[in-house]
Amino acid sequence: MESCFHCGEDCLEELITYNEKSFCCAGCKTVFEILNSNDLSYYYDLQEAPGISPKLKEDKYEYLENAEIVDRLLEFDHEKTQIVSFSIPSIHCSSCIWILENLHKLHSGVKSSQVDFPKKTIRLSFTAEEISLKELVVLLSRIGYEPNISLDNFEKKESEHDRSLIYKLGVAGFAFGNIMFLSFPEYFEINEFWLDQFKYLFRWLMFSFSLPVVFYSGKDYFISAYKGLRSGILNIDVPIALGIFVLFVRSTAEIVLDLGTGFFDSLSGLVFFLLLGKFFQQKTYSFLSFERDYKSYFPIAVTRISSEEEQIEEQVQVYKIRKGDTVLIRNEELIPMDAEILEGQANIDYSFVTGEADLVNKAEGDKVYAGGRQKGSIIKLKVLKPVEQSYLTELWSNEVFQKDRSFGFQSLTNRISKNFTIAVLSIAILATTFWLFADPTKAWNVFTAVLIIACPCAIALAAPFTLGNLLRIFGKKGIYLKDASVIERMAAIDTVVFDKTGTITTTGQTTAEYEGLELSDKELQMLGGSLKASSHPLSRSLYSILQHHGIRTPDSYKEYVGAGIECDFEGNRIKIGSASFTGESDSEEISNGKTAVHISSNAQYKGCFSFRNTYRKGMSGLFQQLSRNKYIIVLSGDNEGERDRLQSLLPVESGIHFNQKPGDKLEFIRQLQHGGRKVMMVGDGLNDAGALAQSEIGIAVSEDINVFSPACDGVMDASILSNLADYFQLAKKGVSIIQASFILSLVYNITGLAFAVTGNLMPVVAAILMPLSSISIVIFTTLATQILSKKLKK
Amino acid sequence: MSIIYMLLAISVVVAIIFFVAFIVSVRKGQYDDVYTPSVRMLFDDELVKSPAKENQPVNKEKFN
């Protein structure tokens, strides 16, 4: 099997040889030609087979001629300079960066372009006089980098980066370094005349460096602790804020009263390490969006027929479409509103909304709903409900999409911190009371020292570093989780609900099974020839599934809309299509409710090809593994046709439910949760969006992680779905690592407390003990997670 | 020994200069994308790769 020089795919359907190189399709060859003739073949030197085969459909971008839409998309527009940013999901390697930043070589109208690789976006500066926005988008699409333009782009312009954490980290780090430097003389207790002279200056400098650390870098901890206390929760930030506050007050008191040098180094170090942990945890995958709703999928514009008599077509923003307007939907276009068919034959793929894989045929006068994708010929629709009120968008008004799921979840850290805070406060009070009687001069010292040393810096670091590391490991394997709390929640899951179509079955590949009288070789050849000529989606997929027995070009070919095709070959007539078209009456029995293509030859009914989904590899093994400690349920939008096959894959005690609409799935998950179960939903597409949002964890499975991911907690590469059980293991072990780190940090705290309670806490002890505990926790968690990930297969 | 005042002042000023430089670079977006520039800088040399240009006409003749 040859693989394509451009995109590296196997050349399955056709093989084009050009320039002594093989290509899998004309698109790939064209891109190669474009790049080669423009002196850009260096693209292929950077990486082997770096390209993406382009899907050319240039009329798709007609709406980019509408000035109003262009205006909304442009970031900057003045005379000869226009700037626009696009998200390009197909950016994947350094070759992509190179070619996209050399666009000006392909077209002189492009002034400059800059790629942001982690975000998979490109910012283009161009001259509209030379190249229009539409031409620019077409240019990008032609070389395989089709921008993703949806209703979402329309709403929000480039959101501002939140850089406050980097600033805070910078401030804390800067102050930490300087304060450490200034405290050296005190660490070594050098009794040197000059250093003693300048000690006060050093101390006041340290004080001034610590001010921004406490009041700027550390302010989030005070705010969070205040909020927690107000709502009656003792979260981890309470002891931290207390620690920071006591450190600052005691240190300031010490230098004011000339008692000592204070703990400014520990203070700034503490804040610095805490922020470092936060920074580590915050690293998420910016190129993936976890908050997608229907707007990310809907087109920006539709074709409206503005004047019924003159049939003037115009591209209009989706939001401007009103009830009663007439719109045109072409092949492969998404229907963005509920409407009634005026003209044409609709073959609608609702898999997006219902999960049902079969095409739905609708004739004139029928109602169609938003979210369906038209396959085949052009249709004319009358709008019944505009976008905002359509059936699909109403799903998003469900309250599950409003609530923040991580709220109400008690993380391990917070659960421990409650007891921890209480313990620390009691020790502090007890120790102080004791010293009040034993030696009142030391009481104040002991009280503050206990609060300082007990500040749960190491505990607060354990979770961010472990979970942050695990997030990274998960990401490397192809499962991208929204944030660290998802891992903790994952460890607690006891029920896993799978969607069927597109999740445990593959979307693209279907297999067909033939039932009926045997077809002769000649008939098979005729069948191949007829199917090749047809553009109906079912014929296309059947054609690609059938093994080719040579192809005969039909002598005559006729397509009946909504029924099938009829072809003649040397006096033989073959009919392919619906049961009634081919003359079979009791079709129900044969096809058993499945999608089928029926065939008759010379007016004799032969049989039918029934389609069915292929299950992903390793599903049965995964179900067995999961069923050891979890309850498995499969929810499907499809009919019961597949029940037997599904049952054979699943462990006996699992549940299977068919005919589930999006709302039903959501309700089903809610019922499970009412029964006290912790549910993980694994699904794809918009039809599962409600269920994904309702469950404890919603994981969206996708074959191309850049394209489809409805609002969820994680996006998973479909090819690794069979390893899901291993990830549960990993999440569980991650939680044990955190627990182990807690124990380790408690040891430090107890050691420190021994110093504090006895009234022996010297600045130098604090300066050694506090960073030591933090750093050793970081090292411990990093090593432990590394070892865990090594054990993971793949 | 009052030189220490000056030395201290200088060291703090230097530290503050670096700190300001850091703030400015963050504000300008240098930390927004920490991957692409590292790849981009490797391209510069190859952009003026002459052999590719010389090969070009030969290829065209062969296949036109």
- Render pLDDT for A513-527 as a digit per residue (tens, 0 to 9): 777 777 777 777 777
Is residue A780 within a helix (H) or strand (E), and if so which, with residue range? helix A763-791
pLDDT tens for each residue of A26-51:
888 888 888 888 878 788 887 777 87
Residues A348-375: what's their mean pLDDT? 75
pLDDT band at A168 (very low <50, low <70, confident <90, very high): very high
How many angstroms separate the CA atoms of A191 and A199, rounded?
Answer: 11
CA distance A197 to A205: 14
Of A42, A118, A163, the CB nearest to B33: A118
Instruction: Convert the pLDDT of each residue in A508-562 to its tens digit.
Output: 556 777 777 777 777 777 777 777 777 666 777 777 777 666 667 777 777 776 6
Counting runs of H as helices and runs of E as strands, what totals does chain B give? 3, 0
pLDDT digits (tens, 9 = 90+) for A295-346: 777 778 888 887 666 677 788 888 888 888 888 888 778 888 888 888 887 8
Q: Decide if B8 and A36 are in contact by the 8 Å CB cutoff.
A: no
pLDDT band at B21 (very low <50, low <70, confident <90, very high): very high
CA distance A118 to chain B (A): 7
Is A119 part of the contact surface with chain B (CB cutoff 8 Å)?
yes
Residues A277-297, mean pLDDT to the nearest whole number: 73
| Residue A193, C-beta contacts closer than 8 angstroms, at least 6 positions apart | none
* Predicted confidence band of residue A216 (pLDDT cuts 50, 70, 90): very high
User: In this predicted model, what pLDDT tens digit does every residue of A445-496 receive, in sequence order?
Assistant: 888 888 887 777 778 888 888 888 888 888 888 888 888 888 888 888 889 9
The pLDDT of residue A591 is 44
Residues 6 or more apart from A760 whose CB is under 8 A from it?
A: none
Tell me which residue has tokens 């593994």: A625
What mean pLDDT is reported for chain A?
80
B-side interface with A, Cβ within 8 Å?
A: 1, 4-5, 8, 12, 15, 18-19, 22-23, 26-27, 29, 31-36, 39-40, 42-43, 46-47, 49, 52-53, 56, 59-60, 63
Rounded percentage of chain B residues whose pLDDT exceeds 70: 66
**Cβ–Cβ under 8 Å, residues A608 and A630:** no
> Length of chain B in residues, anyone?
64
Interchain proximity B40–A102, CB inside 8 Å: no
> Sorting pLDDT into bands at 50, 70 and 90, what band is A222?
very high
Question: Which chain A residue lies closest to B59 (C-alpha atoms)?
Answer: A19
- pLDDT tens-digit map of A652-689: 878 888 888 777 888 888 888 888 888 999 887 777 87
Cβ–Cβ gap B46/A19 under 8 Å: no
Q: Which is more confidently placed, A50 or A171?
A: A171
pTM for the whole structure: 0.76
Above 90 in pLDDT, residue A223? yes
CA distance A717 to chain B (A): 23
Residues linked to residue A83 through DSSP beta bridges, in sequence order = A76, A125
Beta bridge partners of A10: A3
Pairing assessment for the beta strands A379-385 and A338-343 based on DSSP bridges: antiparallel
How do beta strands A495-499 and A679-683 pair? parallel
C-alpha A564/C-alpha A25 separation (Å) is 28
CB contact under 8 A, B29 and A97: no
Residue A475, C-beta contacts closer than 8 angstroms, at least 6 positions apart: A285, A481
Distance between CA atoms of residues A185 and A705, nearest Å:
56
What backbone phi and psi angles, to 5 degrees, belong to B29? 90, 20
Percent of residues, chain A, with pLDDT higher than 90: 5
